[in-house]
Amino acid sequence: MLRNILRFVGTMRQIQKTGIGRLSAYCGAVSAGCGAGAGIAWLHGGRLDEVAHTIVNALATVSGIICDGAKPSCAAKIAASVDAGILGFLMYERGQQFFSGDGIVTKGVENTINNIGRLGRDGMRETDKEIIRIMMGE
């Protein structure tokens, strides 16, 4: 069971990360945290609908976290992302969810994940450059 859930969570993370690309200012912990929330939904007997809504709810909550290369803050970003994954599941369990038009959320989990890919791949280009300038003391 544990092996299956770890594969599932890893797959959810990879699906989200694929559109972003290898290097981005978009925090990879967000994808992992949302994947953890999806895994929790699955462990609770959730099917595609529950898992999809959990992912969308989690992404709507923490999709703006940036990676600044500061490893000490990664643990906090991971914790916040996992918390968002759990919150995403609990929201759906209680009949609450984000809808298309709520920020970057679009109808369908695939479309919302595509928006995250676009945000991480295209939208974070200048952010990445600015983070590097800040870290260099410019």
Close Cβ partners of 35 (under 8 Å, ≥ 6 residues apart): 9, 10, 11, 12, 13, 16, 85
Of the candidates 119, 120, 40, the one whose C-alpha atom is nearest the C-alpha of residue 84 is 40
Q: Is the dihedral of CA 28, 41, 86, 113 positive or negative?
A: positive
- List the chain pLDDT tens, one digit each, 138 residues: 667 766 777 777 777 777 777 778 888 888 888 888 988 998 999 998 999 999 999 999 999 898 887 778 888 998 999 999 999 999 999 999 999 999 999 999 989 999 998 998 898 888 888 988 988 888
The DSSP bridge partners found for residue 66 are 26
Backbone angles phi, psi at 111, to 5 degrees: -70, -40
> Tokens 């990676």 map to which residue?
67
> Tokens 């699955």 map to which residue?
42
